[in-house]
Chains A and B, each alone.
Chain A
Amino acid sequence: MPRTLYDKLWDLHEVTQREDGTYLLYIDRHLIHEVTSPQAFEGLRLAGRKPWRTSSNKATPDHNIPTTDRQLGLKGIKDEVSKLQVTTLDDNCKEHGIEQFDIEDERQGIVHVVGPEQGITLPGMTVVCGDSHTSTHGALGSLAMGIGTSEVEHVLATQCLVATKQKNMNVQINNVLPKGVYSKDLTMSVIGKIGTAGATGYAIEYSGQAIESMSIEARMTVCNMAIEAGARAGMVAFDEITLDYVKGKPYAPSGTQWDNAIDLWKDLKTDLGAHFDETIKFDASELKPQVSWGTSPEMVIDIDSVVPEPKSNSESNALDYMGLKTGMKPEDIKLDQVFIGSCTNSRLEDLRIAAEIVKGNKVSKSLKRAIVVPGSGLVSKAAIEEGLDQVFMEAGFEWRAPGCSMCLGMNPDQLDEGDHCASTSNRNFEGRQGYKGRTHLVSPATAAAAAIAGNFVDVRSIVG
Chain B
Amino acid sequence: MNEYTIHSAKMVPLDRSNIDTDQIIPKQFLKSIKKTGFGPNLFDSWRYLDSGYPGQDNSKRQINPEFVLNDKRYEESEILISKANFGCGSSREHAVWAIQDYGIKCVIAESFADIFYNNCFKNGLLAIALPKDAIEELFRISEEGKNIHVDLINQVILDSAESEIVKFDIDNFRKTCVLEGLDEIGISLKHSELIKSFEKNKKEVTPWIFK
Contacts of B111 in A (CB 8 A): 197, 200
How far, in angstroms, from A408 to B22 measured CA to CA in the complex? 9
Q: Which of A309-342 contact B (CB under 8 A)?
A: 312-314, 317
Q: A88-B33, A296-B18 are in contact. Are A201 and B114 (CB under 8 A)?
A: yes
Q: Which of A241-270 contact B (CB under 8 A)?
A: 251-253, 257, 261, 264
The CB with the most chain B CB atoms within 10 A, among A47, A88, A151, is that of A151
Type the 1/0 row for B180-196, where 1 means its CB is closer than 8 Å to any CB of A. 00011101110110110
The CB with the most chain B CB atoms within 10 A, among A20, A151, A230, A436, is that of A20
Q: Which of A397-428 contact B (CB under 8 A)?
A: 408-410, 417, 427
Contacts of A26 in B (CB 8 A): 195, 198-199, 202
Q: Is B72 an interface residue (CB 8 A)?
A: no
A39 pairs with B93, CB closer than 8 A: yes
Q: Is A36 an interface residue (CB 8 A)?
A: yes
B93 pairs with A150, CB closer than 8 A: yes
Q: A35-B30, A230-B88 are in contact. Are A21 and B118 (CB under 8 A)?
A: no
The A contact surface, by secondary structure, is: loop
The interface size bin for chain A is 35 or more
B211 pairs with A251, CB closer than 8 A: yes
Smallest distance from the beta carbon of A300 to chain B beta carbons, Å?
14
A410 pairs with B27, CB closer than 8 A: yes
Q: Is B17 an interface residue (CB 8 A)?
A: yes
Smallest distance from the beta carbon of B80 to chain A beta carbons, Å?
17
Q: Which positions in A face B, CB cutoff 8 Å?
A: 15-16, 18, 20-22, 24, 26, 28-29, 35-36, 38-39, 42, 47, 49, 52-53, 55-56, 63-64, 79, 81-82, 84-85, 88, 122, 124-125, 130-132, 146-151, 153-154, 157-160, 162, 196-197, 200-201, 230, 232, 251-253, 257, 261, 264, 296, 298, 312-314, 317, 408-410, 417, 427, 429-432, 435-436
A-B CB contact pairs (8 Å), 16 listed: A15-B195, A20-B176, A42-B33, A132-B90, A148-B91, A148-B115, A151-B118, A158-B189, A160-B195, A162-B184, A197-B111, A230-B85, A251-B208, A429-B23, A429-B89, A430-B45
By Cβ-Cβ distance, the 4 closest A-B pairs, closest first, are A20-B173, A150-B122, A435-B51, A253-B208
